[in-house]
A and B are shown apart, each in its own frame.
Chain A
Amino acid sequence: MGIELIYQKWSGKINEVTIGSESKAVKIGGQNSLPFLFKEGGLPNRPRIAFEIWDVPPQDWPDELRRPYGGVLEDVIKWAERCQEEYKAEIICVRLLGAHPDLGNKPSAEEARLVELLLQKVAVPLIILGCGDDQKDNELMPVCCQAARGKRCLVGSAVQDNYRTLTAAVLADGHNIIAESPIDINIAKQLNILISDMGLAQDRIVINPTVGALGYGLEYAYSIMERARLAALSGDKMLAMPFICFVGQESWRAKEAKALETEFPQWGPQRERGIIWEAATAVAFLQSGADILVMRHPESVNCVRDYINVNYQDVDS
């Protein structure tokens, strides 16, 4: 019996966003099909993984997560170099946490110099994140954007209550912006409209849907992403942005990833548990359309990279 398959033709397409400049630039998005449905449309750019690094040594990272970065956690440049050289990072994501008033309150100029230095030492594209304090970020991010002028970085995060300063800076210095919304498709879209209304091109925006880790509300962002992707493919231009998912940050907060075997013997060894928690969270979000996964553990990154490479084989050939 012959079965006639159902092909869905979409009128919309996800914007292709270029991060980084010159030969090392990375493209994300550009697809006009749902994740992994290669037979139905184009998925020209594979999802990318960014390594997350901090400008201050992380205090609350579990030992399992610190081990691969032994000796470099104190020095963000060395840390970045290890990610690039040893762990073959495609993108590096630096979080300027040290500028936070409660975490050292580093002056903006100092952070801007750090960004400049990173751009010299690191060849792969850069994601720059503020410290999370609105007031400080509004002072910090414009100078960092300026320091990275022309390097087409991805800069974040713009939120509904605080997007104007960052958008203006990104616009002035030729970067891309991360638009963050609290697991809400309407707010995600509203923010994209507000940012676009300020004059930033739609292919300069990446959506951060604020994902939750496996077991910690993963399904909320998962469905928001599916809905947004379906809307975008159906022609909604204000949702046709690629997604960035902060998988590492969320996964390593999960008890299942952090807890020692001595605390929860019934959960088995911590090492594999931590790695799989991050990797599984990442792969789940690949199913809902993640374009950039910001991750932490090199082993998790390896697993997910292998998974992506195997599944994108046909695209390569």
Chain B
Amino acid sequence: MGLSGLDIYKLLPKTNCRECGFVTCLAFAMQLAKRQVSSEKCPYLSDEAKRTLESASRPPIKLITIGEGDGKLEIGNETVMFRHEEKFHHPCGLGFIIEDNLGDKEISETIKKINALNFERVGCMLRPDLIAIRQNGNTDRFVQAVKAVREQTSMNLMLMSKDFKAQQEALKLVSSARPLVYCLDKDNYQEFSSLISEFKVPVVVCAQDLSGLSEITQNLINQGIEDIVLDTGKKATTEKIWEMTQIRRLSLFRSQRSLGFPSLVIVENRADPFQETLTAITYIAKYAGIVLISGNETWEALALLTLRQNIYTDPQKPLCVEPKIYPVGNVNNNSPVLITTNFSLTYYTVLGEVEASKVPSYIVASDTEGMSVLTAWAAEKFTAETIAATLDKCNIKDSVSHRRLIIPGYVAVLSGELEERSGWQIIVGPKEASGIPSFLKNL
């Protein structure tokens, strides 16, 4: 576990010299504890303090990069068991397995289908990250297939073969794209490690249990190979959840370096794509760095990518609703207009009361960066100026024929200036949302 702010503070010079850019040594220490800054910013650290801080700040789970350029996949560097404790940092990669024994045409079609799998949700593009080519037959066919895939997609690659020659040839072709090699196990890792060292590519280590994994990875680490992804093979889902949990716990709580890597899970259930999807859902939630599936249906990808987006959202950002007009009930051009902030708790409280009033109304959520009414007012995010701008921007005047705006009672002081700036007649609403129903009914 990392050091606390106070632990770190005790290692600092405590001179409050401010050369690090922070006002006090303690403020700097608190940011160090959160790993938001580098200890190098302090020019006066003792050597001993430097060593302690460096070892404490080494990420317990190594960041692994697969591929290169804009579309590269970065996984690992996770710091918590549960997303609310801080956040999950690097969204798990989603990939598809393509068999090399498919015909060229089939491969092309599959790739085309996979390439088309991208969706826009709440302003983000969601797309899969990885195509894995799996060897079924001879060396040449595998290399051919890798070549074909490489030519037809910019997606990151994974090479699935235990054929030394095949891997070697394939890597000669595509190593510059930093593919992920699958896999080294207890039987082949001595031989394959030279290949990995030569091409400097990330590699999956596979073993049936954590001790087995640890033995191999420790050996590789000793050889300087540290871009590792872990796989414990095919197992029952609950057993897998247990192992993934253990890997995460051991690396976070016990700094088990030999397991301090992201893990990969292969989910294959061609007979039942629904179950395949649900199993993949499980691992996206529980600690997978990469999930590989066999199906490539749109609905499957859409569901998995959406869940990934949800799980990897930063939970420390305040809950906001989109700043816009929300019609409640059967509104018409005479319906009252209420304004509030876009802090979701505030908005939903107001919404609940407006619904309860049964008076069809418009609620305008003004962008206060997720602050509540009084906080936003104090911080100048909910002022006559910003409200007037919101009214303009959301074009509420196109929705109603009147010009009467109801503002929260707590910011009644804004009335005068807001009336001048917006040209709307300002009606001061109740201070508490609970007063809204009777207020709207008696309007």
- Report A-B touching, CB under 8 Å: yes
A interface residue numbers (CB < 8 A to B): 1-3, 5-6, 36-39, 102, 134, 161, 182-184, 214-215, 217-220, 222-223, 226-227, 230, 256, 266-269, 272-273, 275-277, 279-280, 283-284, 287-288, 303-304, 306-307, 310-311, 313-314
B210 to A, closest residue via Cβ: A3
Contact among A102, A267, A283, A284 with B299 in the assembled complex (CB-CB below 8 Å): A267
Residues in A neighbouring B425, C-beta threshold 8 A = none
- Determine whether the beta carbon of A272 is less than 8 Å from that of B297: yes
B330 to A, closest residue via Cβ: A102
Give B219 Cβ to nearest chain A Cβ, in Å.
10
Residues in B neighbouring A310, C-beta threshold 8 A = 236-237
- Given A39-B242, A276-B277: A268 touches B297 (CB 8 Å cut-off): yes
- Determine whether the beta carbon of A272 is less than 8 Å from that of B299: yes
Give B90 Cβ to nearest chain A Cβ, in Å.
16
- Determine whether the beta carbon of B242 is less than 8 Å from that of A307: no
Chain B binding surface SS class: helix
Indicate if B83 sits at the interface (CB-CB under 8 A).
Answer: yes
Indicate if B10 sits at the interface (CB-CB under 8 A).
Answer: no
Closest CB pairs A-B (n = 3): A268-B298, A273-B299, A223-B84
Q: How far is the CA of A276 from the CA of B281 in the complex (A)?
A: 11
Give B126 Cβ to nearest chain A Cβ, in Å.
10
Residues in A neighbouring B434, C-beta threshold 8 A = 161
Q: How far is the CA of A272 from the CA of B277 in the complex (A)?
A: 11
Which of B192-200, B244-252, B397-405 forms contacts with chain A? B244-252
- Determine whether the beta carbon of A2 is less than 8 Å from that of B348: no
- Determine whether the beta carbon of B303 is less than 8 Å from that of A1: no
Give B218 Cβ to nearest chain A Cβ, in Å.
6
Give B234 Cβ to nearest chain A Cβ, in Å.
14
B283 to A, closest residue via Cβ: A287
Indicate if B38 sits at the interface (CB-CB under 8 A).
Answer: no
Residues in B neighbouring A272, C-beta threshold 8 A = 273-274, 297, 299
User: Of residues 295 to 321 in B, which have CB atoms within 8 Å of A's CB atoms?
Assistant: 297-300, 302-304, 306-307, 309-311, 313, 315, 319
Give B270 Cβ to nearest chain A Cβ, in Å.
15
- Determine whether the beta carbon of B302 is less than 8 Å from that of A273: yes
Contact among A183, A227, A276, A314 with B274 in the assembled complex (CB-CB below 8 Å): A276
- Determine whether the beta carbon of B302 is less than 8 Å from that of A267: yes
27 contacts between A and B (CB under 8 A): A1-B211, A1-B214, A2-B211, A6-B253, A36-B242, A37-B242, A37-B245, A214-B303, A215-B306, A217-B310, A219-B83, A219-B310, A223-B315, A227-B82, A230-B82, A256-B302, A266-B298, A267-B298, A268-B299, A273-B298, A276-B277, A276-B300, A276-B303, A280-B281, A284-B285, A287-B286, A304-B278
Indicate if B259 sits at the interface (CB-CB under 8 A).
Answer: yes
- How many contacting A-B pairs (Cβ < 8 A)? 135
Q: How far is the CA of A303 from the CA of B311 in the complex (A)?
A: 22
- Determine whether the beta carbon of B275 is less than 8 Å from that of A287: no
Q: How far is the CA of A2 from the CA of B209 in the complex (A)?
A: 10
Give A299 Cβ to nearest chain B Cβ, in Å.
8
Residue of A1, A37, A38, A272 with most chain B CB atoms under a 10 A cut-off: A1
- Determine whether the beta carbon of A182 is less than 8 Å from that of B315: no
Residues in A neighbouring B300, C-beta threshold 8 A = 276
Indicate if B222 sits at the interface (CB-CB under 8 A).
Answer: no
Indicate if B45 sits at the interface (CB-CB under 8 A).
Answer: no
Q: Beyond A5-B250, A6-B249, A276-B277: 8 further Cβ-contacts under 8 Å?
A: A1-B215, A3-B259, A182-B345, A215-B310, A222-B83, A267-B119, A284-B307, A310-B237
Indicate if B282 sits at the interface (CB-CB under 8 A).
Answer: yes
Q: How far is the CA of A191 from the CA of B295 in the complex (A)?
A: 44
Q: How far is the CA of A304 from the CA of B259 in the complex (A)?
A: 32
Q: How far is the CA of A306 from the CA of B279 in the complex (A)?
A: 11
- Determine whether the beta carbon of B285 is less than 8 Å from that of A280: no
- Determine whether the beta carbon of A269 is less than 8 Å from that of B299: yes
Give B239 Cβ to nearest chain A Cβ, in Å.
9
Q: How far is the CA of A37 from the CA of B310 in the complex (A)?
A: 23
- Determine whether the beta carbon of B281 is less than 8 Å from that of A284: yes
Indicate if B331 sits at the interface (CB-CB under 8 A).
Answer: no
Contact among B238, B254, B304, B307 with A311 in the assembled complex (CB-CB below 8 Å): B238
Contact among A183, A214, A220, A226 with B307 in the assembled complex (CB-CB below 8 Å): A214
Q: How far is the CA of A223 from the CA of B82 in the complex (A)?
A: 8
Contact among A3, A134, A273 with B214 in the assembled complex (CB-CB below 8 Å): A3
User: Of residues 309 to 344 in B, which have CB atoms within 8 Å of A's CB atoms?
Assistant: 309-311, 313, 315, 319
Give B163 Cβ to nearest chain A Cβ, in Å.
28
Residues in A neighbouring B246, C-beta threshold 8 A = 5-6
Indicate if B394 sits at the interface (CB-CB under 8 A).
Answer: no
Give B37 Cβ to nearest chain A Cβ, in Å.
27
Residues in B neighbouring A222, C-beta threshold 8 A = 83, 285, 310-311
- Determine whether the beta carbon of A303 is less than 8 Å from that of B275: yes
Indicate if B121 sits at the interface (CB-CB under 8 A).
Answer: yes
